[in-house]
């Protein structure tokens, strides 16, 4: 059977929010310090302590938003420690991540400065797990209150006259575990309470994001939608692409269930793997479709008009840390396998753009499935970075409806769809299709019919692929894997026949 796509150029669906291409920066390992922020006295070129090479690289992929300060760190972060003169900011121990001392030199002001430099929307996650309603309420007042008030005056004392504009605000993180080990019912009450005192000041309207479930914890979504969705703009799913990750359900004495992970045995090397581990990651990435569909079905029950969005504000691959690095720093290399699995996931997110408003891959620099790795003044753009570069054509474009047939990719007797894609139409009317072939052994011929487009004027292609499954960019060889021009396609009337290499991502851009 051939792989076939039939797309109608006029069958526009939802807009693919550019926020689907969002990122995440936690005080974890070397993401902030030694990543984004090197300090003003560093010899590495910087503006106000932020690395200029990193800012440029992220602007190139049009980073639309950045989530901060965590993750688990958010639920033990006390924002007042991160304001005022740097030398007098108190220190704390980052107990979640490596037990290192956090000097709080990167705080609220620095985060907003970073977002301004990146031209990205700030997304701040507040502390529910170990904070108080008052602390969260005062943080919102500090950031967004225009008039005279204790917190707005404190902000002015610290050098910022005008309030910042803050839209995206998270009310806790993973409150089923590191954010307070709460039951869904308890969190639903807490999120409603905290939310009430996180005020909208003046023109500033918060977009309120509740901490959603981990993976297949459908009960969490059910309870949150039932009991708290009337106060929320979105709920945030977390799903890491790990091999053989298991969700363990413990029954509590009151009959409720608590979900946690048994993943201790499942993490594997990021760079040294065989085909069955390649398959495992692709299977885990493809599972995103089931997760998103099932959570969406629950949301549809309570919110058929899709007023409450699904956000996936943590996702990506999670492997063993690189040998010789602090296990609490979650530093992992990044190969073609990461790139291909990111392509699979991003296609799924695009295709669910009617419900998904934002996603934030974890994490931007030096942590998990990073865009950028640093070593002193050196910087490497990972294969995953290049996927974001290729897929940026979808940002704020119209998702197009399509039908697809795909061959199977078989490994160890298990099957997966070999080819996946998403297709959008940009403001100029160009059609962009991002195709992924997960089969590491065989190429894929894909026949794509474009109806209702008129005469095809030009077709351009870009490909990301390599001979080895684990090709990566290193500090010694930073450009081993990069997108290149792709011409292995033929146009005949409204039909384009694309010959995808094994284990590849292909972008096809069609203009009238
Ligand atoms: O991204 C790393 C961690 O994974 C985050 O801090 C947490 O929210 C999740 O468990």
CA distances in angstroms from 191 to 169, 176, 367, listed in the order given:
12, 12, 28
Angle separating helix axes 218-227 and 275-302, nearest 10 degrees: 20
Position 253 pLDDT exceeds 80: no
Q: Does ligand 1 lie within 6 Å of residue 173's CB atom?
A: yes
Closest atom of ligand 1 to CA, residue 362: 1
The ligand 1 atom nearest the CA atom of 24: 1
pLDDT per residue over 145-158, tens digit each?
Answer: 999 999 999 999 99
Provide the phi-psi class of 49: left if phi over 0, else alpha when psi is between -120 and 50, else beta. Answer: left
- What percent of the chain has pLDDT above 90? 93
Q: How much is the CA Rg of the chain, to the nearest whole Å?
A: 23
* CB-based burial, 349-373: b 16+ in 10 Å, e otherwise: bbbbbebbbbbbbbbbbbbbbbbbb
Q: Is 434 exposed, middle or buried, given 0-12, 13-18 or 19+ CB atoms closer than 10 A?
A: buried
- CA gap 126, 121 in Å, rounded: 16
Task: Give the residue among 272, 269, 274 at the shortest CA–CA distance from 325.
Answer: 269
**Ligand 1 near 26 CB (within 6 A):** yes
247 has pLDDT over 70: no
Determine the average pLDDT of the residues in 123-127.
Answer: 98
Residue 510 alpha carbon to ligand 1 centre in Å: 39
The pLDDT of residue 223: 96
Structure confidence at residue 160 (pLDDT):
98
Catalytic residue of the set 138, 174, 190, 289: 174
Q: How far is 422 from 200, CA to CA, in rounded Å?
A: 37
At 60 the three-state DSSP class reads: helix
CA of 77 relative to ligand 1 center, distance in Å: 14
Q: Averaged over 259-273, what is the pLDDT?
A: 73
Give me ligand 1 centre to Cα 178, in Å. 9
- Which one, of 419, 415, 321, lies nearest residue 370 by Cα? 321
320 CA to centre of ligand 1 in angstroms? 15
Among protein residues, the one whose CA lies closest to atom 6 of ligand 1: 71
pLDDT band, very low/low/confident/very high, at 244 (cuts 50, 70, 90): low
Nearest to 50 by CA among 374, 383, 316, 479: 374
CA distance 359 to 395: 12
Mutate to test the pocket of ligand 1, among 22, 23, 24, 26 (most ligand atoms within 8 A of CB): 26
Which residue's CA is the closest to the ligand 1 atom numbered 9? 71
Q: Which residue has the higher pLDDT, 393 or 261?
A: 393
pLDDT of residue 354: 98
Residue 338 Cβ contacting ligand 1 at under 6 Å: no
Taking the centre of ligand 1 as the mean of its atom positions, its distance from the CA of residue 72, in whole angstroms, is: 6
pLDDT of 434-482, one tens digit each? 999 999 999 999 999 999 999 999 999 999 999 999 999 999 999 999 9
Catalytic residue among 76, 102, 190, 314: 314
Angle subtended at Cα 7 by Cα 4 and Cα 13, rounded to the nearest 5 degrees: 135
Residue 162 has pLDDT above 60, yes or no: yes
Average pLDDT over residues 125-138: 98
DSSP 8-state symbol, 506: E
Q: Decide if pLDDT at 27 tops 90.
A: yes
Quote the CA–CA distance of 119 and 55 in Å, as a whole number: 10
Please give the pLDDT value at position 243.
72
Classify strands 3-15 and 444-451 as parallel, antiparallel or unpaired.
Answer: parallel
Number of residues that make up the chain: 512
Q: Is the distance from the beta carbon of residue 70 to the nearest atom of ligand 1 less than 6 Å?
A: yes
> pLDDT band at residue 242, thresholds of 50, 70 and 90?
confident
Q: Is 174 annotated in the active site?
A: yes
By alpha-carbon position, which residue is closest to atom 4 of ligand 1? Answer: 71
Helix axes 336-351, 275-302, angle to 10 degrees: 20
CA of 494 to the centre of ligand 1 (A): 46
Mean of the per-residue pLDDT values for the chain? 95
pLDDT at 255: 65
Measured in Å, residue 126 CA sits from the centre of ligand 1 at 14
Distances (CA, A) of 235 to 15, 313, 360, 454: 19, 9, 13, 41
Burial label, 53 (beta-carbon count in 10 A; 0-12, 13-18, 19+): middle
State the pLDDT at residue 130: 97
Separation CA 195–CA 116 (nearest Å): 26
Neighbours of 250 (CB within 10 A): 9
310 lines ligand 1 (CB under 6 A): no
Per-residue pLDDT, 434 = 98
| Shortest-distance Cα residue to atom 7 of ligand 1 | 71
The DSSP-derived string for 309-356 is EEEEEEEEE--PPPTTS-GGG-----BHHHHHHHHHHHHHHHHTTTTE
Please choose from 28, 240, 311, 314 the residue to mutate so as to test ligand 1's pocket, defined by most ligand atoms within 8 A of CB. 314
C-beta separation of 312 from 353 below 8 A: no
Best mutation site among 362, 365, 368, 370 for ligand 1, i.e. most ligand atoms within 8 A of its Cβ? Answer: 362
Longest dimension (CA), the chain: 69
Q: What is the CA(407)–ligand 1 centre distance, in A?
A: 35
Instruction: Tell me: pLDDT of 260 over 90.
Output: no
pLDDT score, position 123 = 98
Predicted local confidence at residue 346, as pLDDT: 98
222 is catalytic: no
Kindly indicate the confidence band of residue 2, based on its pLDDT and cuts at 50, 70 and 90. Answer: confident
Q: Tell me: the pLDDT tens digits for 370-396?
A: 999 999 999 999 999 999 999 999 999
């Amino acid at each position: 059977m051939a792989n076939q796509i039939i797309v109608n150029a006029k069958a526009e669906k939802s807009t693919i929010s550019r926020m689907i291409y969002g990122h995440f920066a936690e005080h974890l390992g070397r993401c902030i310090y030694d990543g984004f922020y090197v300090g003003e006295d560093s010899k590495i070129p910087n503006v106000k302590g932020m690395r200029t090479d990193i800012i440029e690289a992220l602007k190139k992929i049009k980073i639309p938003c950045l989530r901060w300060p965590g993750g688990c760190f958010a639920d033990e972060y006390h924002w007042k420690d991160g304001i005022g003169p740097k030398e007098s900011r108190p220190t704390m121990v980052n107990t979640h991540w490596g037990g290192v001392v956090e000097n709080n030199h990167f705080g609220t002001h620095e985060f907003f400065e970073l977002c301004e430099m990146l031209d990205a929307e700030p997304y701040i996650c507040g502390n529910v797990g170990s904070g108080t309603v008052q602390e969260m309420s005062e943080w919102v007042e500090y950031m967004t209150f225009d008039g005279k008030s204790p917190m707005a005056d404190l902000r002015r004392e610290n050098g910022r006259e005008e309030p910042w504009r803050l839209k995206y605000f998270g009310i806790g993180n993973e409150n089923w575990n590191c954010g307070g080990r709460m039951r869904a019912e308890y969190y639903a009450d807490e999120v409603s309470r905290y939310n009430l005192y996180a005020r909208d000041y003046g023109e500033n309207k918060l977009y309120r994001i509740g901490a959603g479930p981990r993976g297949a914890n459908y009960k969490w979504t059910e309870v949150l939608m039932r009991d708290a969705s009337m106060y929320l703009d979105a709920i945030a799913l977390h799903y890491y692409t790990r091999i053989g990750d298991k969700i363990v359900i413990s029954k509590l004495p009151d009959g409720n269930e608590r979900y946690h992970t048994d993943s201790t045995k499942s993490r594997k090397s990021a760079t040294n793997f065989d085909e069955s581990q390649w398959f495992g990651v692709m299977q885990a990435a493809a599972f995103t479709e089931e997760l998103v569909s099932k959570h969406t079905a629950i949301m549809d029950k309570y919110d058929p008009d899709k007023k409450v969005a699904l956000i996936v504000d943590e996702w990506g691959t999670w492997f063993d840390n690189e040998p010789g690095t602090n296990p609490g720093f979650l530093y992992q290399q990044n190969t073609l396998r990461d790139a291909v699995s990111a392509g699979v996931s991003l296609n799924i997110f695009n295709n669910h753009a009617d419900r998904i408003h934002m996603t934030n891959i974890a994490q931007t620099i030096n942590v998990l499935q990073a865009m950028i790795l640093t070593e002193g003044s050196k910087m490497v753009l990972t294969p995953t970075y290049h996927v974001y570069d290729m897929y940026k054509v979808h940002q704020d474009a119209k998702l197009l409806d399509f039908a697809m047939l795909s061959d199977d990719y078989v490994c160890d007797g298990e099957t997966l769809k070999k080819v996946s894609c998403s297709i959008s139409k940009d403001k100029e009317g160009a059609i962009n299709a991002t195709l992924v072939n997960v089969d590491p052994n065989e190429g894929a011929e894909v026949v794509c019919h474009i109806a209702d487009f008129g005469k095809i004027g030009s077709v351009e292609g870009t490909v990301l692929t390599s001979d080895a499954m684990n090709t990566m960019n290193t500090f010694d060889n930073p450009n081993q894997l990069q997108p290149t021009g792709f011409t292995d396609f033929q146009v005949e009337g409204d039909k384009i026949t694309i010959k995808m290499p094994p284990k590849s991502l292909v972008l096809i851009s069609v203009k009238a």
